[in-house]
């Protein structure tokens, strides 16, 4: 990949000054909890975005997306979101750097990758983190990883229009091989938990479904949670986010009112607690116990948080039928994308065959699947 991106850059712009790799992410449990200031349990994977970048002598930005064979140019003085999606991730971070007072100049960049797009593996965060990291190197800006994470998240808010939490950018930037990150999204304290792949594999099944309203539905969930917090605050003023709420508070303040808000908040408070219990199982090496919580998360995401879709529900319930699957659930923002499955190593083949065949009977199409390993975060190549 490194050679490929360097070659593509060379063909267009000459020698690249900097090459950076930034990975996609998985999340074991703790879904939609990040913007409610709960915990998440993501990890970076062995599928990544590569960016090659070099300075220009003018104030222009020339971009090339190798996998799409598409080019885009803009002026550094006129950074604004475009109707084409992919340039926004690069322009968005350039804009953040400018807004934070960094002096930039024109640059050329080429991006390629093998993170499946729109599959819930956060290819967008990987592009943002890769771009920021590369710019930081190119102009020796001296940025810390955490500042880059925050700027990348802001870029997603302002240029992609998704009011995302911090998980994806954090996981891409801070990932470590064979470890999951237990991130407290309120304090931003984090710990690495070793994730042993002995006897198990992480398998993702991709529905191929890309919901066109996913970003507006995502933002809506965020608003519904905020509405819940405002209602809970009337009785319990100390509650600043759903992280501070208990299930008793949700029952006392929200049950019998707006059923949607009640369901969203109930899922959220349960999920924040579920993650804690799941982590205990993980630390005990009890993957079957951990997996049970994953199934429960799927159920909540589907019934209460309503961010699943039929294809994801079918994949999760087919997984439940498989003896070799310890846990499975939809992953990421939802409305399409992948399920994540913890599968016994010696059962991977039969599990994939069974799920793909049964899925194809219903949807007339076999789902793609990816066996992923946990890998390091953003790095200079
Ligand atoms: C998307 C967002 C994240 C997070 C997940 C759901 O991936 O970018 O911030 O909210 O959805 O857990």
* DSSP per position, 267-330: HHHHHHHHHHHHHHHHHHT-HHHHHHHHHHHHHHHHHTS----HHHHHHHHHHHH-TTEEEEEE
Q: What is the pLDDT, as a whole number, of residue 213?
A: 62
Q: Which two tokens stand for residue 264?
A: 């969203």
Strand 39-40 and strand 200-210: the pairing is: unpaired
Place of tokens 């104030």: 59
Q: What is the pLDDT, as a whole number, of residue 212?
A: 65
Q: Which two tokens stand for residue 234?
A: 């009337």
Ligand 1 pocket by Cβ (under 6 Å) = 31-32, 34-35, 122, 164-165, 167-168, 332-333
Asked whether the CA dihedral 180, 194, 381, 188 is positive or negative, the reply is positive
Residues of the chain with pLDDT under 70: 212-213
DSSP codes of every residue in 51-119: EEEEE-SSSEEEEEETTTTEEEEEETTS----SSHHHHHHHHHHHHHHHTT-----EEEEEEE-SPTTS
* 171 φ, ψ (degrees, to nearest 5): -65, -40
| Cα 271 to averaged position of ligand 1 atoms, centre (Å) | 14
| Among 271, 272, 275, CA closest to 302 | 271
- Active-site residue among 34, 67, 114, 168? 168
Q: Which two tokens stand for residue 356?
A: 């793909």
**For the CA of 333, the nearest atom of ligand 1:** 11
Q: Is 69 exposed, middle or buried (0-12, 13-18, 19+ CB in 10 A)?
A: exposed
| Cα 334 to averaged position of ligand 1 atoms, centre (Å) | 9
Cα–Cα distances in Å, from 308 out to 47, 214, 298, 323? 24, 11, 8, 23
Q: What is the pLDDT, as a whole number, of residue 364?
A: 96
| Cα 31 to averaged position of ligand 1 atoms, centre (Å) | 7
For the question of residue 168 being annotated catalytic, the response is yes
- Contacts of residue 291, defined as CB under 8 A and 6 or more positions apart, other chains included, come to 325, 326, 327, 328, 342
Q: Which two tokens stand for residue 347?
A: 């059962």
**For the CA of 35, the nearest atom of ligand 1:** 10
Contact 270, 247 (CB under 8 A): yes
- Contacts of residue 304, defined as CB under 8 A and 6 or more positions apart, other chains included, come to 263, 264, 266, 267
């Amino acid at each position: 990949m490194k050679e490929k991106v360097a070659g593509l850059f060379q063909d267009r712009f000459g020698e690249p000054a900097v090459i950076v790799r930034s990975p996609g992410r998985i999340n074991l449990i703790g879904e939609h909890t990040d913007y409610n200031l709960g915990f998440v349990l993501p990890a970076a994977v062995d599928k990544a975005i590569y960016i090659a970048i070099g300075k220009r002598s003018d104030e222009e930005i020339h971009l090339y997306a190798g996998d799409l064979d598409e080019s885009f140019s803009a002026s550094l003085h006129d950074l604004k979101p475009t109707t084409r999606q992919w340039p926004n991730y690069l322009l968005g971070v350039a804009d953040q750097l400018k807004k934070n007072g960094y002096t930039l100049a024109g640059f050329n960049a080429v991006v390629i990758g093998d993170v499946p797009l729109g599959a819930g593996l956060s290819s967008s965060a990987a592009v943002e983190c890769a771009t920021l990291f590369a710019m930081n190197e190119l102009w020796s800006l001296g940025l810390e990883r955490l500042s880059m994470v925050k700027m990348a998240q802001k870029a997603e808010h302002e240029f992609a229009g998704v009011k995302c939490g911090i998980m994806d950018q954090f996981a891409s930037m801070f990932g470590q091989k064979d470890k999951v990150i237990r991130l407290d999204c309120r304090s931003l304290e984090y710990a690495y938990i070793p994730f042993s792949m002995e006897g198990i594999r992480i398998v993702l099944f991709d529905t191929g479904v890309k919901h066109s309203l996913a970003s507006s539905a995502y933002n809506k969930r965020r608003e519904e949670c905020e509405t819940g917090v405002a209602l809970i605050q009337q009785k319990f003023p100390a509650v600043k986010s759903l992280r501070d709420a208990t299930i008793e508070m949700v029952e006392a303040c929200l049950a019998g009112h707006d059923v949607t808000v009640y369901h969203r908040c109930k899922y959220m408070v349960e999920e924040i607690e579920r993650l804690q219990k799941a982590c205990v199982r993980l630390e005990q090496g009890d993957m079957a116990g951990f997996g049970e919580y994953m199934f429960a998360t799927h159920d909540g995401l589907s019934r209460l948080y309503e961010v699943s879709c039929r294809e994801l529900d079918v994949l999760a319930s087919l997984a439940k039928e498989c003896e070799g699957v310890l846990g499975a659930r939809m992953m990421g923002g939802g409305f399409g994308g992948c399920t994540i499955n913890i599968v016994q190593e010696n059962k991977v083949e039969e599990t994939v065959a069974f799920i793909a065949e049964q899925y194809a009977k219903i949807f007339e199409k076999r789902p793609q699947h990816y066996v992923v390993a946990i890998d390091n975060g953003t790095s200079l190549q």
